[in-house]
Structure formats: structure tokens, C-alpha cells
């Protein structure tokens, strides 16, 4: 029955695995899971970890990514995802949901939810998507306070605290931060000194910028391969060759699913049937396979009465 209902790996195992992956020299690929079922697929296909995106979570609630979601909402959604996978789950904790003390509380809640790590960003509150113009960052020392609070709250030393800097995407001089890639690199060094285990280099543009960042700091780095944003979409192998340690595909599964849902709904609206789209769908048998329906019979033989051979799908 191990691995049914909930994952077989413990939170401690997953954090150890994430740290080992970050130190391995092999890039850790973390697609965003929009729900626990997607996390099961991510594991089955063979990725190294699962990401929980704040942007995809808020979009799923029908809201823009402007800091409207709360610590409780994000952690409970992430707990459900972490619960069903043996893979480490990294979550998007935005700016920590408040002042430094709230960042500390966020870490405690994430640890209790079985999550392997989280990232905190240096944007002002309320934050916005890192690939939009007009965002603003807090002074370095304020972000350092956020991080110190998070690091000191941690009870499991293997829980990964990732610091995201949005500085590279800020071109105009703001009251709060210089911005630009050089500022981002300086900030990454300060964040590493404050105890961050991993740096999320948000909104770099080109391969050359990723290379420049890698050459300047000696702490694990995470790349964000989000679509339709400011960053060139660089293959995982190239990022690995550059020396990056992790890559997220944060909103990709939401965009894939929503693209398919919109096409399908329009066709049903236009033709009155979904008949022509059956080959685009995950079949009942594939869904049941992913859910491991059959294994549930191990402890209750009355549950599984679906026959793949007879159903034809
Ligand atoms: C990584 C990110 O923070 C997210 O919430 O997934 C977003 C992704 C996106 O909006 O494309 C971000 O880069 O700010
Ligand atoms: Mg986000």
C-alpha cells in the first residue's frame, strides 16, 4: 500500500534529495504542477522535482499575479501537491506574505506542509509578475532581513531557501534599488551571505546574461524558463552546460491545459459535440493508470471494477 493515497518518500527524504540534486552537476528540472494529478505525471515522466507557481495558482483562482493570494491558500494548495509526490516540491512564496517575521512564518508553514523549499523575492509589496514592466525592488538590506528571518526560522537544515532577485529586470533608477544585471549579481552575493541556498535569477534576457551570472557567483542558480516573458527559452542541457543547477517551467502546464481547454470548448460550442476531440483527451484508462486505481484493490477489492480491455479507451 506504500505510495498509495500519499507519497512514500518523507519530507526529510525529499529535502535531502533536492539538496543532493542541486549539488550533483545535473540540472534539476521542475515543471509547475497546477494540481496534485499533474505532480503525479511529472514524477512518472521522470523529472527531478515539482514547482508550485504563484502565477499559475492565482490564475487558477481567476486572479492576476499581484500578491492577492495568502500564505494559507498557497501553503494548503502546495501541501496537497507535495502529499502525492516522492519528488521534492519547490514553492513560490512571493515576498514572504508580509514583513520579515511573516517570511519566517511562511517557512515554518511550508516545512509542516512537507515542502522541500521555497523562494522569496526582493520585490516590494504588492509584488507583480517578474516579467512585467514597472516592478520595484526593496533595498538589499531589507531583502537580507527577509532572508535572515526565513533562514533562522528553519527547523530542518535541509529545507532549501531560495532567494529570487528581480533586479535584472529593472532598468529605470528607482528610489528603492538600482536595478540591472550588475545590481542583481551584487544582490545575489548579499543574499548568499544571508544564508540563501539557491539564487533565482529572474528575467535575464539572453544566454550571455545567464553565463555572466554564473561566472560571478559560486552558489547554486535557478533559471526561470517561463513562456512569453523576457527570457530567451534556453534548453535544459544548455543551461546545465552554462552551470545552472535548476530550471523551472512555472506556468507551462497551465498554458498547455488552458490552450487545449479553450480549443475544445470552442469546438463543442460550434459543433455541439466533443466527438472530434477524443484523440486529444487523456483517456479514462490512462487517467486510472496514473491514479493507480488497480493498486487500491490491494486493500479493498470492491473499489476497482473498471476494465481497460472492455472500455476501449
Ligand atoms: C515564476 C513566477 O513567479 C510564477 O509565479 O510562476 C512568474 C512566472 C510568470 O508569470 O511567467 C514570474 O516569473 O514572475
Ligand atoms: Mg510568482
pLDDT of residue 303: 63
3-state secondary structure labels for all residues of 37-83 = HHHHHHHHHCCCCEEECHHHHHHHCCCCCCCCCCHHHHHHHHHHHHH
Q: Please confirm, yes or no, whether 129 is among the known catalytic residues.
A: yes
The mean pLDDT of the chain is 94
- Distance, in Å, from the CA atom of 143 to the CA atom of 146, rounded to the nearest integer, reads 5
Give yes or no for a contact between 196 and 163, defined as CB atoms under 8 angstroms apart.
Answer: yes
pLDDT of residue 29: 99
211-261 per-position pLDDT tens digit: 999 999 999 999 999 999 999 999 999 999 999 999 999 999 999 999 999
pLDDT of residue 132: 86
Pocket of ligand 1 (CB under 6 A): 53-56, 65, 92, 129-131, 202, 224, 226, 229, 250-251
Indicate the SS3 state at residue 221. Answer: strand
Q: Please confirm, yes or no, whether 119 is among the known catalytic residues.
A: yes
Catalytic residue selected from 48, 111, 197, 202: 202
- Distance, in Å, from the CA atom of 49 to the CA atom of 43, rounded to the nearest integer, reads 8
93-104 per-position pLDDT tens digit: 999 999 999 999
What is the reported pTM? 0.95
pLDDT of residue 128: 87
Conformational region of residue 170, where left means phi above 0, alpha means psi within -120 to 50, and beta covers everything else = beta
Pocket test for ligand 1, best of 92, 203, 204 (most atoms within 8 A of CB): 92
pLDDT of residue 178: 75
Q: How confident is the model at residue 172 (pLDDT cuts 50, 70, 90)?
A: low
Distance from the alpha carbon of residue 204 to the mean position of ligand 1, in angstroms: 13
Give yes or no for a contact between 136 and 123, defined as CB atoms under 8 angstroms apart.
Answer: yes
Q: Give this complex's ipTM.
A: 0.99
Give yes or no for a contact between 118 and 110, defined as CB atoms under 8 angstroms apart.
Answer: yes
Q: How confident is the model at residue 276 (pLDDT cuts 50, 70, 90)?
A: very high
pLDDT higher than 90, residue 126: no
Q: Please confirm, yes or no, whether 297 is among the known catalytic residues.
A: no
At a CB cut-off of 8 Å and minimum separation 6, what does 280 contact?
Answer: 260, 264
Distance from the alpha carbon of residue 53 to the mean position of ligand 2, in angstroms: 6
- Distance, in Å, from the CA atom of 201 to the CA atom of 225, rounded to the nearest integer, reads 11
Give yes or no for a contact between 169 and 177, defined as CB atoms under 8 angstroms apart.
Answer: no
Pocket test for ligand 1, best of 31, 53, 126, 134 (most atoms within 8 A of CB): 53
Amino acid at each position: 500500500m506504500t505510495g498509495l493515497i500519499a507519497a512514500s518518500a518523507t519530507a526529510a527524504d525529499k529535502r535531502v534529495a533536492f539538496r543532493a540534486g542541486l549539488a550533483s552537476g545535473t540540472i534539476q528540472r521542475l515543471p509547475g504542477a497546477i494540481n496534485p494529478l499533474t505532480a503525479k505525471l511529472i514524477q512518472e515522466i521522470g523529472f527531478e522535482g515539482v514547482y508550485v507557481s504563484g502565477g499559475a495558482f492565482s490564475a487558477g483562482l481567476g486572479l492576476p499575479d499581484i500578491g492577492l493570494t495568502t500564505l494559507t491558500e498557497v501553503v494548503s494548495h502546495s501541501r496537497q501537491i507535495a502529499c502525492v509526490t516522492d519528488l521534492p516540491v519547490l514553492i513560490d512564496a512571493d515576498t514572504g506574505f508580509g514583513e520579515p517575521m511573516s517570511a519566517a512564518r511562511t517557512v515554518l508553514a511550508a516545512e509542516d506542509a512537507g515542502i522541500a523549499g521555497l523562494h522569496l523575492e526582493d520585490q516590494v509589496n504588492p509584488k507583480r509578475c517578474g516579467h512585467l514592466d514597472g516592478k520595484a525592488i526593496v533595498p538589499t538590506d531589507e531583502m537580507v532581513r527577509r532572508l535572515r528571518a526565513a533562514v533562522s526560522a528553519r527547523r530542518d537544515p535541509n529545507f532549501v531557501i531560495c532567494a529570487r532577485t528581480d533586479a535584472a529586470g529593472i532598468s529605470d533608477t528607482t528610489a528603492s534599488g538600482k536595478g540591472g544585471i550588475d545590481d542583481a549579481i551584487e544582490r545575489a552575493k548579499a543574499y548568499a551571505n544571508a544564508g540563501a541556498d539557491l539564487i533565482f535569477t529572474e528575467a535575464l534576457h539572453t544566454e550571455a546574461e545567464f553565463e555572466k551570472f554564473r561566472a560571478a557567483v559560486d552558489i547554486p542558480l535557478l533559471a526561470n524558463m517561463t513562456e512569453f516573458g523576457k527570457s530567451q527559452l534556453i534548453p535544459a542541457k544548455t543551461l546545465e552546460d552554462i552551470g545552472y543547477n535548476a530550471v523551472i517551467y512555472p506556468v507551462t502546464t497551465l498554458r498547455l491545459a488552458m490552450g487545449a481547454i479553450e480549443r475544445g470548448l470552442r469546438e463543442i460550442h460550434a459543433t455541439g459535440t466533443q466527438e472530434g476531440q477524443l484523440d486529444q483527451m487523456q483517456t479514462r484508462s490512462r487517467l486510472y493508470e496514473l491514479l493507480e486505481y488497480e493498486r487500491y484493490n490491494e486493500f479493498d477489492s470492491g473499489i476497482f471494477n473498471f476494465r481497460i480491455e472492455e472500455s476501449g479507451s
